[in-house]
Amino acid sequence: QVRLVESGGGLVQAGGSLRLSCATSGTSFSANTMAWYRQAPGKQRDLVASITSGGSTNYADSVKGRFTISRGNARNTVSLQMNSLKTEDTAVYYCNVQIIRSEYWGQGTQVNVAS
């Protein structure tokens, strides 16, 4: 059974940085696209950033220049470096992994940015 475990959320002051990590277990296949989504209270879950198996990245306009997504050296790991955090970045962040034709989600990690 494929399992995603996220880590790195927490409370940070505006202007600060956090790094989120996601590790996948339970599969011998390499992930295709890996991504981070976020969901603020009362809002829909939106794509923050994604990275393909070839390393191509895509970012939401709101995080361009501040966030960086990368794949780790360990297979099927992905990180999100978040700099210059703003209060509007407060949300639950979810890791998303596509493996073959299936899609998997992590349990989410809370990021709170205080003013």
* CA within 13 Å, CB half, 44: 2
pLDDT recorded at residue 89: 98
pLDDT-flagged residues of the chain (< 70)? none
pLDDT recorded at residue 31: 85
| Rounded CA separation 41/97 (Å) | 23
89: three-class secondary structure by DSSP: helix
Residues 6+ apart with CB under 8 A from 19: 8, 79, 80, 81, 82
pLDDT recorded at residue 29: 84
